Each structure stands twice: as structure tokens, then as C-alpha cells.
Amino acid sequence: MYSIVTTAIVYGLESRCIRVEADVSNGLPVFEMVGFLSSEVKEAKERVRTALHNCGYTLPAKRITINLFPANVKKSGTGFDLPIAVAILAALGEIEKNALEETLIAGEISLSGQVQPVQGVLPIVAMAKEQGIKRCILPYVNLTEAKLIDGVTIWGVKNLLELTAYLKGKTYIEKEPIYIEETEQNSKKEDFSDINGQETVKRACEVAVAGRHNFLMIGPPGSGKTMIAQRIPGILPPMTKEEQLEISKIYSICGMLPQTGTLLQKRPFRSPHHTISINGLAGGGMIPKPGEISLAHKGVLFLDELPEYKKSTLEVMRQPMEDREIVLVRQAGAYRYPADFMLVAAMNPCNCGYYPDRNKCNCREADIRRYLGRISKPLLDRIDICIESPLICYDDLTKRKEKNEPSAQIRERVMAAVSRQQERFRGTGILYNSEIPSKDMETYCHLGEKQKKYMKEMYQKLELSVRGYYKILKVARTIADLDGTEEIEIRHLNEAVCYRILDKKYWE
């Protein structure tokens, strides 16, 4: 007797259909599983056998063969337990085969037959819909997530016996998904109006967000760098539906999608500690899981105390920052995860934190060089805006909070600048000014005669590199967009130049 069940595997950000074949025939009693299986899939044999037994099904003393195909895809994860159990029951004639048509089944089972949740349900159901599969049978706990995709019937099951009853003809009763409200702590409001003073840093931050430029703050401890970074989520533009689905898939694969009953609404803000490993940042494992750079996709990756990160850890970000995705090559294949993030970094200028204030800083010149040298030139090259955050002065400290501009107001300007960019780049695949390729500089960052003369002076005076020169133009483009003008004016260029001179001051 033979049967076939459809299930799925998550591969990178996408999901692929996998078929489970079961064959029960006369011969020596063995239970065999084949089809390029990882160790946890091989272990399914014992779980399924015991679970079936505990649910009252005794396997006959026959030859049972399970095959998972296509054979060229490495099967990993624990979601195959349930489809394997169902395939065996169908091959034994316990379940009618036509009950399994146009149906996808995924889930882990415990020894007692309870169905356990699996990761990556969102990409699995999205794929099922694309493939025209009518019904997905999934663990009850995953129901909230599965229901985010409409147009597919979802059955949430709690145990194997319940499922076999349904497949034998019992009517499925719609279950209420589990919803967990966002906690108070997650939705706490941090506002730019909390920050007194630091007007230039706040302004630079606004420009960075508006054009999605990578952003670095240098200053002594206690100057509010972290506070400013933490308030960036409050001024980010909203996500489109496609962006929400894409980022929700990443969180689904990591088992981190909050069960709120909606796709992720807010752009991610990730701030991994400086002890993070390369795998933690870039993604890793035998079957790689997304790392922090992918969890920050379409949002912000904040690295506080930048020189404290291992140099090798920081270096892995270089390629993804260019390609906006990371490719993790393993024996089982190449896994792609998107990694299109805005880098925000903060650092002290030296070990004590007070350089170049020589009244406070006693660090030796060589130590300062070494400290700053932990940030490599190629990484610095990928940062468009660099700003000093000085210690706050007394007058600013005692300023009334009501006088500070709230995040909502800043966000309005950011959104206006973002929509100017959308208008400009329609159909080009470019989203933000920071992404303008060198060949299109003349088209998008055209300069008038006066402006060209000014930039020529700056080019010579500051001994700019070509890359540095282009960066000034891109940032000036964003400043002009915030200003609401198409023409890039001298004051825009001037402000952009100010964001470039700091790396010269500290690193050259």
C-alpha cells in the first residue's frame, strides 16, 4: 500500500514543497527513511513510531519505507513528523487518500501524539497559496501566524488523534487563534522631545533617516548618543505591505514573530551587544538561520560602542552592506537572506572617551590611534554621515522639555523627503538617495555652475576621494529633499560637507 502527503521546507527566506511517500509492503519488518535527511529528520522515525503506538495504532510487522523528495534538497527541521505519521496511516488504509488532496501538512509530534509548533509557518503558507494548495494543516499554536495569509483554509490541530478524526470525515470546527497583545514595554514611547540640546546631532540623524544614509556618532560618554539612536524608530517612515510580509517571514523563520494577529507593522530596530559572534550577526548554523543584519532588514542596525566589536565581526557586514543581502554557503546549498538595513553606530573617540579634549583625556597618542584603528577604512567608507556629539552645556541641560521638537514633527519632514525620493526613483529599483549608483550621479544630483565651483574648491581643499565626493552629493540631495527643493544649493552642499570632515579629523 502506498500514499503520498505534501509538506514543505523553509529554504532561505522561501519555502519549497516536499512530498512524503510511504510504502507498506510484505517483507522483513523494518522502518526505513530515505531522501537526503538531516539527523533531526532521521529521528522522526522514533517519534512517529512511538506517537502512533500511544495513539492506539500498532505498526504491522511489515516493511515500511518513507521517501522524501525531491532528493536534491536537504531536509531539516522537525516539521516532517506529522506528514510522515499521516502518510503511514494512509498507506495502512486508516485514512482515505483523497482526504489528503490539495492539502499541505506540517508539524512536530511528541511521543504522546501532541502536535508541537514549527518555525517558518508564514513562508510555508505563502508558498502554499502560490502553488494553489487549498488547505494547510498545521500545529494549533501556529494558527495565528498561518492566518496572516488569506485565501488558504487553515486547520490548527492539537494532537494526532484529533487530526485523524478530521481526515476520516469529522467536521473541522474553526478554532480561535491565540493572540498575545503587544506588551507595554515593547510599545513604550521614546520621543526626541526627551532630549535637551544636541540640535546638530538630531539634525544629522534626521538627514540620515530621510535618505537612509549610514550614520556614525562620535562623542564622550553621557552625550546622549544612545538616547538619540533609540529614538530613531519613532521617525522612520511606515512600511509597505510587501515590506511587512518580507520582514515578517524572517521573524517567522526565527520563531520570533509576535502573535499579535498582524504582520510586523514597525520597522525593526536591532541593537546587538558588542560580544556578538560572526554567526549571530551574519546568520549561521548548519542550516543557517538569519542573523542580526537580516533581523534589521528594512530597519535599523544599531551598534553601540562600535570599536568594542571584534574587527572580524564588523568586517562580515561589508559585503551585505553593498549587496543588501547575505549569502551563506553550506554543504546543503547557498542560503540567501535579505539584509537591507540602515547602520547607525556610536563610539567614544578614545578609551577614556574625552579625546580631543586634552584637559580630560590622558590617553597616549598611540593608544588613540589604535582605538580608532579598530574601525577599518572600508567600513568607514560605507558611512555617509559622521557627527560629533559634544557634552551637553548647562543652558541646554536646564531647558524646558516642551521646547524640544517632538518625533512626530520630525517624522513628517522625513516622510515628505521620502515621498520626493519615491517620485524621483519610480521604476528604477532605487528607494533612497543613499542608493544612487555612481553612473547616475549626474542625473539625480545635478549641480549648477556656482555649486560646481564650490565643490571643486572643496574637492581640492579636503583632498576628497571620488567616493567621498559622491557621498557629499548624495547627502546634499537628501538635505535638498528635506528642504523641498529640486535644485541642490550651496547651503545643502555645505551641510553635507560638514558631515564628511569628521572622519578626516579623527582618522587621518
Using CB under 5 A as the criterion, which residues of the chain lie in contact with Zn ion when the complex forms? 350, 352, 355, 361, 363
Considering the complex, state which of residue 121 and residue 368 has its C-beta at the smaller distance from Zn ion. 368
Q: How far is the CB of 307 from Zn ion (least distance, A)?
A: 12
Q: Are 90 and 21 in contact (CB under 8 A)?
A: no
Considering the complex, state which of residue 332 and residue 361 has its C-beta at the smaller distance from Zn ion. 361
Considering the complex, state which of residue 139 and residue 220 has its C-beta at the smaller distance from Zn ion. 220
Which helix (DSSP H) or strand (DSSP E) does residue 466 occupy?
helix 466-483
Q: How far is the CB of 352 from Zn ion (least distance, A)?
A: 3
Q: How far is the CB of 346 from Zn ion (least distance, A)?
A: 16
**Of 212, 192, 214, whose CA–CA distance to 478 is shortest?**
212
| Buried residues in 369-380 as b, exposed as e (16+ CB within 10 A) | eebbeebeeebe
Q: How far is the CB of 399 from Zn ion (least distance, A)?
A: 29
Q: How far is the CB of 221 from Zn ion (least distance, A)?
A: 11
Considering the complex, state which of residue 14 and residue 305 has its C-beta at the smaller distance from Zn ion. 305
Provide the 8-state DSSP code for 348. -
Which helix (DSSP H) or strand (DSSP E) does residue 283 occupy?
strand 283-284
Q: Are 25 and 120 in contact (CB under 8 A)?
A: no
| Buried residues in 18-50 as b, exposed as e (16+ CB within 10 A) | bebbbbbeeeeeeeebebebeebbeebbebbbe
Grid cell for residue 431: 528607494
Q: How far is the CB of 374 from Zn ion (least distance, A)?
A: 14
Considering the complex, state which of residue 8 and residue 363 has its C-beta at the smaller distance from Zn ion. 363
Considering the complex, state which of residue 361 and residue 416 has its C-beta at the smaller distance from Zn ion. 361
**Of 263, 284, 279, 281, whose CA–CA distance to 271 is shortest?**
281
Torsion of CA 185, 237, 202, 490, to 10 degrees: 180
Considering the complex, state which of residue 250 and residue 347 has its C-beta at the smaller distance from Zn ion. 347
Q: How far is the CB of 124 from Zn ion (least distance, A)?
A: 53
Q: How far is the CB of 263 from Zn ion (least distance, A)?
A: 46
Q: How far is the CB of 497 from Zn ion (least distance, A)?
A: 27
Q: Are 496 and 477 in contact (CB under 8 A)?
A: no
Q: How far is the CB of 266 from Zn ion (least distance, A)?
A: 37
Considering the complex, state which of residue 82 and residue 502 has its C-beta at the smaller distance from Zn ion. 502
Considering the complex, state which of residue 27 and residue 373 has its C-beta at the smaller distance from Zn ion. 373
Please calculate the CA angle 53-58-64 and round it to the nearest 5 degrees. Answer: 105
Grid cell for residue 136: 494547510
For residue 283, the cross-strand partners are: 290
- Say how far apart CA 414 and CA 409 lie, in whole Å: 9
Residue 306, class by beta-carbon neighbours within 10 Å (0-12 exposed, 13-18 middle, 19+ buried)?
A: buried
Grid cell for residue 312: 572580524
Considering the complex, state which of residue 223 and residue 404 has its C-beta at the smaller distance from Zn ion. 223
Provide the 8-state DSSP code for 327. E
What residues have CB less than 8 Å from 172, skipping those under 6 apart?
A: 155, 166
Which helix (DSSP H) or strand (DSSP E) does residue 387 occupy?
strand 385-388
Considering the complex, state which of residue 189 and residue 358 has its C-beta at the smaller distance from Zn ion. 358
- Say how far apart CA 126 and CA 107 lie, in whole Å: 16
- Say how far apart CA 435 and CA 428 lie, in whole Å: 11
| Buried residues in 105-116 as b, exposed as e (16+ CB within 10 A) | bbbbbeeebbbb
Q: How far is the CB of 351 from Zn ion (least distance, A)?
A: 6
Considering the complex, state which of residue 276 and residue 361 has its C-beta at the smaller distance from Zn ion. 361
Considering the complex, state which of residue 306 and residue 321 has its C-beta at the smaller distance from Zn ion. 306
Q: How far is the CB of 220 from Zn ion (least distance, A)?
A: 9
Q: How far is the CB of 303 from Zn ion (least distance, A)?
A: 20
Q: Please tell me the chain's helix, strand, coil percentages from 3-state DSSP, rounded to the nearest 5.
A: 40, 20, 40
